[in-house]
Amino acid sequence: MPATATPAHTASDPAVARGTRVPGPQQARAASAVGVAPARAPSGIDGSAFRGTPFPVPAGTVGAAHAAAPIPITRRAPRPARNGPWREVRAAFRRRRRPTLLLALLAAGVATGLALLFPPGVVATTSLQVASVGTADPAPATARALAAASTTAFTERTAALSGSTPAEISSRVAVGSPAPGAVEVQVSGADAASATAVATDAVAALRERIAALDAAVTAAGTDPLRAELDRSTLADGASGTRSDTTGADPVTEQLGRTLAERTGQATVVVPGPEPVVTPEVPTAVWATGAAVLGALAVLLVVGVGVPARRRARGLLPEADPVGALREELDVPVLAPGHAPDAVPVLADAYRATLRGIEVVTVVQLTGEPACDVAGELVKAATLTGDERAYVDLTPGAEPVVPEDGVPVIRALRTPRVLHEDLCALRDGGPTVLAVQTAGTRPEDVSNLAAALRAVGAPPVLCLVWTGKLPRDPARVPLPADARVRSVA
């Protein structure tokens, strides 16, 4: 008697019950060993071979040597990684281009408003003109003024005049010389009034310190000369020498000239204009920087935070969900995209995979009221010349009984397939999985495929959409408690 043909996947198969995938070539060899040879089926739209139930052939056509040959263990060729970090970042931006742009503009506007509401600190700037009596060179006077500003006495005097601490004055007051003869005083502060007051006190303290240093230098330089001149005059009087008869004493003349020069080296300070208050950072730069930082914060959250959160949850990658599902499933996986590009893709997939199957059930792992993929497949069948009846198995939908002999496409839309759903699909024929990357993990899809095989509804095609399936405004959403009322 000829051997009886057995399907490649049955509910009693232990491997199928555990959800273990068996490679396609190994299935074909196993079927040949029991007298079944797979028929040549057209390849799917993605180039992968159709892995449906093989057609039986007479057992005598299978050679004994071929039937007794060992079954090799075949593995899929490694695919290049298309779900790397950078691809995930680009996919996150590409899928959220419009909301990201709107959020970046909103964040930039809010940051600009906050920058104007909380302006930066101010700087009060004033200047002094310094010179020396008896010389046209302003460099010595400038050096003496800067030396006076670098002393601790200047800091303490400014702190005493302004009512601040020396440490605060040291951090807020800066004295420099932009050019010889000019001394510039800059004071930073939170507001213009406090900065101007401290700048005025700093100028007063600097003038006091310059005068004190001049007095000390003058006293140290002229007192010895005056003492020497007095000693020389007393010596001349004691010896009876007269300057009008013996002539001028060269030592006395030199001492007199030196005394005159040192006496003339006094620093003259000319007050400058009133302090001018300017912001530490220009207002335009401050506002622009805040806007840029706000926009960059949004881009950082979208580009880094979204992929990291999706990876932490183990969701389907948005860069290449087709490749990720092909590693989990042994059926063709397609990404039709959105209308109108999805219409020819669905029509081609129907022609290559679903034509000739009397009953096809679309198991759609989405919530309500997403676009109905089963209804789109009915339209795709119409484009290919087939007429299909539509039956909705979703809990809460109106029951429809199709006519006898009419090919049917059934729809089951649910975020999670429960026990009662599997009972409704038992021995219902091939199924099509329709999933979205939003909230879906690869393990969920592979476990569902194994469960469908176990109940006699093996998947033959998987359709995946990046993000969420768009809402269909023409459909009335089912009530939230539809499943509860349907099983009550």
How much is the average pLDDT of 88-92?
Answer: 82
- Distance between CA atoms of residues 468 and 457, nearest Å: 25
Helix (H, G, I), strand (E, B), or coil: what is residue 25?
helix
What band does 216 get if pLDDT is binned at 50, 70 and 90? confident
How high is the pLDDT of residue 2?
39
pLDDT at 93 over 50: yes
Alpha helices in 265-361 (DSSP H): 283-300, 306-313, 321-326, 342-349
**Interval 310-327: pLDDT, tens:** 888 888 888 889 989 998
Q: With contact defined as beta carbons under 8 Å apart, do 452 and 424 qualify?
A: no
What band does 133 get if pLDDT is binned at 50, 70 and 90? confident
**Interval 254-291: pLDDT, tens:** 655 555 555 556 788 888 889 999 999 999 999 999 99
How much is the average pLDDT of 366-383?
Answer: 85
What band does 44 get if pLDDT is binned at 50, 70 and 90? very low
**Interval 168-185: pLDDT, tens:** 999 999 999 999 999 999
Which H helix or E strand runs over 462? strand 459-465
More confident residue, 105 or 59: 105
35-39, 162-166, 339-343: lowest mean pLDDT where?
35-39
How high is the pLDDT of residue 447?
94
Could you identify the residue written with the tokens 């007192």?
A: 223
How high is the pLDDT of residue 454?
94
CATH architecture of 14-82+320-487: 3-Layer(aba) Sandwich (3.40)
Name the average pLDDT for the chain.
77
The DSSP secondary structure of 229-254, one letter per residue, reads HHHHHHHHHHHT--HHHH---HHHHH
- List, as own/partner pairs, every contact residues 295-302 make where C-beta atoms lie below 8 angstroms and the sequence separation is at least 24, other chains included: 295/104, 295/105, 295/107, 295/108, 295/111, 297/107, 298/100, 298/103, 298/104, 298/107, 299/93, 299/100, 299/104, 302/92, 302/93, 302/96, 302/100, 302/103
Which sequence spans correspond to the domains of the chain? Answer: 14-82+320-487, 85-117+285-313, 122-280
- Distance between CA atoms of residues 43 and 56, nearest Å: 20
pTM of the full structure: 0.57
How high is the pLDDT of residue 268?
84
More confident residue, 380 or 338: 380
How high is the pLDDT of residue 55?
39
Nearest 5°: phi and psi at 297? -65, -40
pLDDT at 406 over 50: yes
Please give the share of the chain, as a percent, with pLDDT higher than 70: 69
What residues have CB less than 8 Å from 24, skipping those under 6 apart?
A: 49, 51, 330
Q: With contact defined as beta carbons under 8 Å apart, do 384 and 365 qualify?
A: no
**Interval 428-459: pLDDT, tens:** 899 999 999 988 999 999 999 999 999 999 99
How high is the pLDDT of residue 80?
53
**Interval 452-475: pLDDT, tens:** 999 999 999 999 998 888 776 545
State the first-to-last Cα distance of the chain, in angstroms, to the nearest integer. Answer: 51
Sign of the CA dihedral running 283, 288, 289, 293: positive
What band does 71 get if pLDDT is binned at 50, 70 and 90? very low
The DSSP secondary structure of 362-426, one letter per residue, reads EEE---TTB--HHHHHHHHHHHTT---EEEE-STTSPP--PPTT--EEEEEE-SS--HHHHHHTT
Q: With contact defined as beta carbons under 8 Å apart, do 229 and 256 qualify?
A: yes
How high is the pLDDT of residue 53?
42
Assigned token pair, 173: 């007051």
What band does 33 get if pLDDT is binned at 50, 70 and 90? very low
**Interval 356-372: pLDDT, tens:** 899 999 999 987 677 88
How much is the average pLDDT of 198-218?
Answer: 86
Please give the share of the chain, as a percent, with pLDDT higher than 90: 38
Could you identify the residue written with the tokens 């009886």?
A: 4
pLDDT at 62 over 80: no
How high is the pLDDT of residue 16?
38
What band does 211 get if pLDDT is binned at 50, 70 and 90? confident
pLDDT at 63 over 80: no
How high is the pLDDT of residue 182?
92
What residues have CB less than 8 Å from 143, skipping those under 6 apart?
A: none
pLDDT at 297 over 80: yes
